[in-house]
Structure formats: C-alpha cells, structure tokens
Amino acid sequence: MAEKQGFGFGLGKMKEAFQKAQQIQEGAKKLQEELDELRITGESGGGLVKVTLSGNQEPHGVEIAAEALNEGSEILSDLVLAALKDAYNLSTATMRQQMEELTGGLGIPGDLGKF
C-alpha cells in the first residue's frame, strides 16, 4: 500500500523542527539573562578612561582617571569615545560568540544561526 506524503514535510521532521525551535527559544532566554548580568569593560589611553557595559550593551559605568582631566576636554572626549567603542566591540563580539555556541549544535542551515 502506498504511503501518503502530504506536502513533503513529514510529521517527524516537523516535530524535530519544533523541538529545535524550542531549544533555541529556551537557550536564547537563558543567554539573554547571562548577557544582562555580564560586565565588559573597554578602555582607552592606557586605562585613563574605562567604560563598562553589559553583554547587551547597557551602560553600567564610566571611570576617568584624574590624570585624564589634565588632557583637556577635546582629548578627554576622544578618550571616552574610544573606551565606549572598545567596550561595545568587546560586548558585541561576546554576544556573537555566545549566540553561535547556542545555535551551532542545533543544525540551523547556512548563516541563519550567526549574527
């Protein structure tokens, strides 16, 4: 007796896809919580200025050494911006790496599992 095949997407594959989607959703929620708690510090000027962000790029602090105040407002502004960019780059790289770890073992095709 011939087996009916509907739309070519069997129930077993649909169940497997649903389970993978649930794994991703659960993992993403846990990852979001971990990134919220994570603190990443970028710096500039050899540590004269430090900016701390969460893993989700939420600002959490700025430290400016007394010596940096002697540099003048223009240079201080550049140091703050450079430290912010450093913290942002570290934070996004961390988030990207953790997302790849989350989706890497789940068989997501192509670049869909990468940010």
Beta-ladder partners of 70: none
Cα distance between residue 43 and residue 27, in whole Å: 31
CA-CA-CA-CA dihedral for 60, 33, 86, 100, to nearest 10: 180
pLDDT > 90: percent of the chain: 44
71 versus 2: which is more confidently predicted?
71
Superfamily of domain 15-104: Nucleoid-associated protein YbaB-like domain (3.30.1310.10)
Contact 79, 45 (CB under 8 A): yes
Segment 2-49, tens digit of pLDDT:
555 555 556 777 787 788 778 778 878 888 888 889 999 999 999 999
Distance of CA 105 to the CA centre of its chain: 18
In the predicted structure, residue 62 carries a pLDDT above the cut 80: yes
pLDDT score at 13 = 77
Assign 43 to helix, strand or coil.
strand
In the predicted structure, residue 76 carries a pLDDT above the cut 90: yes
